[in-house]
Structure 1
């Protein structure tokens, strides 16, 4: 069990304890730190306090990092929307609201739980919690994912992602009317210095490139297709916010006044890659989920009325 101490600095006084502690290690999330504080693993001057405790200059923070708990990933029978499958790879259309792999707070009901019930042969490169997972999409983003069934396929598919040879196109609805039909956003993405649970465009971030094309314009919104050249965390959501057109329904990067969608209007519509064994190029396209299609139809009717 790891222990450490930290004395509150002048620039940290008045800040919440959970926020201060989360900045001490880039691997710690704020929600994880909050749980530690609630369980008494983080104390101020030897006393248990709440996560919103306002730190004072000179306060001594005692941190006792608990041992990581191993999660058992159990197979769960699910009605998966599988677009392609052979002995090396699976292509699946993930629904909105489903988490890709187990994590603290989401031990079950994930895509990995469903895949483990569907087939027993998933690659083990990412360990027991993420078997077969080559790339991820956010919980409230729907669409196509490729999953590796063995380690050789996994490495080959990851190499394609690194080489930027995988085709990944997303459909999104954003706030505002984008004046240009086409555009490219090239801006580095990294952890937001003020809130480490968020990503942001930062000077020392990782190289990130998103290409977009306007599909349709409405009274107050624009329907776009975004193609990823790189695959950074929350890339489309961060990049579209950066140029002033945040995604509709996005609780993290969008405006407070938005359409009620329980998450961003974002769908991974096209996925193309070379088969890891035959090298044949495969491309798949998943239609918009019902909620997204109905939303667009509603916006079109409003335009007609105007």
Structure 2
């Protein structure tokens, strides 16, 4: 049976897409506009347009389109797997690559590449995320741990939850941070203004980020960050919050920034205890070429 959403207008006024965006917090305005464009939104059995002005008493019916079935296709994406054994793998994700398939990214993801290059992957997560224990954003580069069986997955996930795994990032941020070290503690949750963004909100989930200055330039600072928690967009949100947004960040940074392929943020260091041997494993990945070149340019003009 096709899923439906019913919205009864009590006293709201204005365009139907805006009103629905205010009422349906789990969906973006662009998603709602797409439903209207594809004639999935009805009042009194008639499909409506996005500029329809709602009135008190309107009963809006949204017939949600059937979700597309995602087919997991192994693809030769030439992933840089820097370590692999029978239980775990560590991969250096390139900037611009999505971690797992979704409606907007059915192919070309890290998972598609893993299926091609690695024989076995854990099955604890849903079918579109085999082996994936944690994620980094599409335009963030760097290291991810991959579980090759469910026992390894449970161990690695527990280490993340217990905050015993090691995750260090390098970021280039706007502004010159005056102090050498800092700790940011501010709760993060979905933005009430833009559903694609996260924000600092009172009822958000606890989030802690530590940072240390590595190098200062004119109007920019290179920092190393260590996560105590792993919230969505945590580093990007926290750095914006204290007034030093990540350079190149299309969501949280200024529009005019350094030329690159997204935010200058790299998951540089990854450490965990091996699920089977108990050995402490630590891996490091060098900065991407464009990141290194940008730093060199800043040094030359400093």
Q: What TM-score does the superposition give when structure 2 sets the normalisation length? A: 0.94
Give the one of 49, 53, 56 matched to 2:54. 56
Cα RMSD after superposing both structures: 1.8
Query: What is the CA-CA distance between 1:255 and the residue it aligns to?
Result: 1.0
Give the corresponding residue for 1:202. Answer: 201
Contact 2:248–2:260 under 8 Å retained in 1: yes
Contact 2:13–2:19 under 8 Å retained in 1: no
Contact 2:186–2:207 under 8 Å retained in 1: yes
Take 1:266 and 1:237, find their aligned partners in 2: how far apart are those partners? 9
Query: What is the CA-CA distance between 1:272 and the residue it aligns to?
Result: 0.4
The secondary structure found in structure 2 opposite 1:143 is strand
Take 2:203 and 2:143, find their aligned partners in 1: how far apart are those partners? 30
Q: 1:2 to 1:109 in 2, by over 3 A?
A: same
The secondary structure found in structure 1 opposite 2:206 is coil
Residues 37-48 of structure 1 correspond to what in structure 2 (within 5 A)? 37-44=36-43, 46-48=45-47
The secondary structure found in structure 2 opposite 1:262 is coil
Take 1:15 and 1:175, find their aligned partners in 2: how far apart are those partners? 38
Give the corresponding residue for 2:4. Answer: 3
Take 2:290 and 2:25, find their aligned partners in 1: how far apart are those partners? 36
Contact 2:140–2:266 under 8 Å retained in 1: yes
Q: Does 2:256 align with 1:257?
A: yes
Contact 1:22–1:196 under 8 Å retained in 2: no
Any unmatched runs of 5+ in structure 2?
none
Take 1:237 and 1:49, find their aligned partners in 2: how far apart are those partners? 38
Take 2:119 and 2:93, find their aligned partners in 1: how far apart are those partners? 19
Query: What is the CA-CA distance between 1:50 and the residue it aligns to?
Result: 4.7
Give the corresponding residue for 2:174. Answer: 175
Residues 262-301 of structure 1 correspond to what in structure 2 (within 5 A)? 262-301=261-300
Aligned length in residues: 300
Residues 64-213 of structure 1 correspond to what in structure 2 (within 5 A)? 64-213=63-212
Contact 1:8–1:55 under 8 Å retained in 2: no
Take 1:174 and 1:95, find their aligned partners in 2: how far apart are those partners? 20
Q: Deviations over 1:69-98 (max 9, x none)?
A: 221010001211111101111100000001
Give the corresponding residue for 1:219. Answer: 218
Take 1:103 and 1:93, find their aligned partners in 2: how far apart are those partners? 21
Query: What is the CA-CA distance between 1:16 and the residue it aligns to?
Result: 6.0
Q: What TM-score does the superposition give when structure 1 sets the normalisation length? A: 0.93
Give the corresponding residue for 1:231. Answer: 230
Query: What is the CA-CA distance between 1:14 and the residue it aligns to?
Result: 2.9
Q: 1:252 to 1:239 in 2, by over 3 A?
A: same
